[in-house]
Chain A
Amino acid sequence: MNYTLRINGETHQVESEPEVPLLWILRDVLGLTGTKFGCGVAACGACTVHVDGRAMRTCTLPVSAVADKHIATIEGPPDVRLQALQAAWIRHQVPQCGYCQSGMLMAAAALLAERAQPSDADIDRAITNICRCGTYQRVRRAIHDAAGKLA
């Protein structure tokens, strides 16, 4: 099948079986490696991107489900929320190994789109990504800080 994918404002034509997860189209077909593979079963969040503004785990999201939708990855031109989060991530020195951080940032940006000033409980609910380096405390602080800066 041929799919038209709109990723980070650009249009890509991709030849693929319908069930191939978006993650592998991004990484192995288009070379957009900022989105990571961590588990393949929607359990870790490393593969999170935005589909029409919502955070989606791409390791279990078939390409056929996202044709003609707006896909945003960590490499794309950041919207104002992602930009604020990236700046806060640097201020709070959040990343360690960094492998989970693309997914963390995309999940956090989607949270801010839904709730401009999230509470700790909102963060607990929305950020279910796994970080093996244990950066959670700094992630939380940086989300609050970015939200404050955007207010």
Chain B
Amino acid sequence: MTFSPGRRRFLLTAGVVGGGLLIGYGLFRERDLLGDPAILPTEGDQVALNAWLKIDGAGHVTVAVPRAEMGQGVYTALPMLVAEELGAAWADVRADQAPVDKVYGNIAVLTDAAPLDPHDHGFVATTLRWSLSRVARVLGVQVTGGSTSVRDAWLPMRTAGAAARDMLTRAAAARLAVPPGELEVSDGKVSHAASGRALSFGALAGEAAALAPPTRIVFREPGERRLLGRPLPRTDVPAKVDGSAQFGADVRNAGTVYAAIRIAPVFGGQLGSFDRAALEARPGVIGVVPLEDALAVVGRTWWHAEQALSAVDVAFSPGPGADVSTADLFARYADAIDADDGFAYEDRGDARAALRGADVLRAEYRAPLLAHACMEPMNCTVRLGDGTADIWCGNQAPDLLRLIAADMLDLPPERIRLHTPLLGGGFGRRAEPDFMRYAIAIAQAVPDQTVQLVYSREQDLQHDTYRPPVLSRFAARLDGEGRIAAWHNHIAGPSVSQATIARAFPGLPLGGPDKTSAEGAAHLPYAVPARRVEHSKVDIPAPVGFWRSVGHSYNAFFTECFVDELAAAAAADPLAFRLAHLHDRPRERRVLTLLEAVSDWGSAPPAGRARGLALHESFHSIVGQVAEVSLDGGQVHVHRVVCVIDCGQVVNPDIVIAQMESGIVFGLTAALYGDTRLEGGRVQQWNFPDYRMLTMKEMPQIETHVIESGAEPGGVGEPGTPPIAPAVANAVSRLLGRRIRSLPLRSALGAG
């Protein structure tokens, strides 16, 4: 496929979408996507052909990956996009973290933030997405999140590979004195079939780099693909089995000192009195650093610093939320829903009028506050120099962090080198600046040292940016045929996006709708003539943030459980009931139909077990799951989960499968056990013993089936998470003969 300015104009006016253009890349000239090769640091005989790839004399291709590797496989999937178009041999491909630069800005994450139906390709929606993509380009926000990595990279990284292929071809043509059209590029070399001659990438890289990039990009035809769609081994795995993988907490410079911290336990509290002399007298203590809302101790090892803080009493003043408990928050939400209309994210037909009178089914659902609990606790390492700074931290927003650091240090952003090592889990938590801010403040008080701040697990759990607790009320009515005639859903909770932006940029005026609040509740695929989905924004004292699948994480639980309630009211099979509302949604139908077959839906489950189903679209991928569950007293056992995903074009099917397994375990852990409780304005849970994680013995058998629909690539890091809670809850409800309407299941079943 090729594209040219004329074709782009056609796409704009017609609002037609295709290969990466949907998210707004069609606005840019190919040349602008390639970036300046000079921004890539080179070593030895490496040469950069554009801002995305370097080739060395031995023919190794090093791809600059602009997103963070946090387990989701971007160090493999994104290099595959480049390598495919380039014609590289996979064994020669390496991944390297890209520097901070606007050319790596994530456009998809911003266009996705618009409160639009993802299926709306009408004029207004399309125009809004296109203007947002312009804004995204100017901001150049380099975010890893929203399951956007492949979707966003699909066009620019394939363009980078194709442009480099063209340059290598022209270099070979000059060398061999043959027309470029007679040359073939594959397996890391450029070959001339007629004369049997071939030149390796390594031999051509220098000459190719001296050529101008092409003005017209020609992609390989889908039929010519050799890498995309194959389960290629991940580039990051070998270093993760021998201990050599470098995470943020593993950064070691000569003379590094280690900091531990106590942050005011009540959100918004301040540091009070403490016995400085007693702290300084503790073994291994190098320094004591009081901060506004925290106290840090620097030690010879992290343990010495942490022990000192544990041994000495530190007083904090309570914050404004010192009397708040989780129960109060739900009461506030209920009041907000009773008091007023929310912001309507969807309003078609007159749902409220259709829901006056009798025969209305009503239900109220709740989801709890949740911590991320990344396996690697939050940490950041800082070395301040003379007018420069080096900062190492696993993060999901390097340009944002660099801006904040520049402001704190009063330096131009270019003087700050922000290094992103591997992330021991991210899940949205590492888009936050808190751990870097504290680390910089500590480093400022301990000059001429590399300072590494690591949160204890207790600090990590008690000072997270949590998935908010949310309340969701439903009312619906069935028609004479047992179809949903009207649907009204009113949700209450804080705005995650606004809270996140306010923390990064205090004082910025914020307001208006926040798509994340209603995502997964509005624009459901089911055909319902009258529907209203509204959200009342209620601020809470606990900091809230992006938690793997964000609004979908709770809205899927609410909506897919309520759909099951309606199916029961209609005396219909839950799968057939959903299909009956999906006539014009072929992708969803296909997911459900395959799921029906592979999950043995039609046959009776083994004795004592029940099956539950959920279907949910998020991040442009459609996932259906069936969970097979039994109960043993208050304990829920999940034996088997069958998962079907349509994520459009598949880059690496094994990574898709791994992400479904991962997303399911993440969502199942939350569904069974996840509950971070506020009491007296502070989080009660302290460590894994009371913030329980799913382990090997509770692990269900997971079977994943990937549908190759050929649609635009969707996300895979998050979409596996939302359906598992409703699938399991629907099965549990069936076993109990009463509906489960709150999480975690352990509490809903009275098991504490």
Contact = CB atoms under 8 A, between A and B. Distances in A.
Contacts of B128: none
B210 interface: no
Interface residues of B, number: 66
Interface in B294-339: 300-304, 306
B424 interface: yes
B243 interface: yes
Interface in A112-138: 123-125, 127-138
B421 to A, nearest CB: 11
B701 interface: yes
B695 interface: yes
Nearest to B458: A40
| Interface majority SS (helix, strand, loop, mixed), chain B | loop
Interface of B: 69-73, 233-234, 236-247, 249-250, 252, 256, 258, 283-284, 300-304, 306, 373-377, 422-427, 454, 456-457, 654, 658, 661-666, 669, 687-689, 693-697, 699, 701-702
Contact of B242 (A33, A86, A133, A135): A86
Contact of B243 (A29, A34, A44, A128): A34
Given A41-B457, A137-B701, A140-B696, A95 B241 contact: yes
Interface of A: 17, 20-21, 23-25, 27-29, 31-41, 43-44, 46, 73-75, 78, 86, 89-90, 93-102, 105, 123-125, 127-140
Contacts, number: 183
B258 A134 contact: no
B674 to A, nearest CB: 12
Nearest to B246: A33
A133 B71 contact: yes
Contacts of B72: 96
Contacts of B236: 95, 98
Contacts of A32: 243
A95 B240 contact: yes
B237 A130 contact: no
B233 A41 contact: no
B688 A39 contact: yes
A97 B456 contact: no
B70 A97 contact: yes
B696 A123 contact: yes
B661 A137 contact: yes
25 contacts: A20-B301, A23-B303, A24-B302, A24-B303, A27-B302, A36-B247, A38-B376, A39-B457, A73-B243, A74-B242, A90-B233, A94-B237, A95-B234, A95-B241, A97-B69, A124-B696, A125-B697, A127-B695, A128-B697, A129-B695, A130-B688, A132-B373, A134-B665, A136-B665, A138-B658
A89 B665 CA distance: 19
Most chain A C-beta atoms within 10 Å of own C-beta, residue among B283, B375, B669, B695: B375
B114 to A, nearest CB: 30
A136 B696 contact: yes
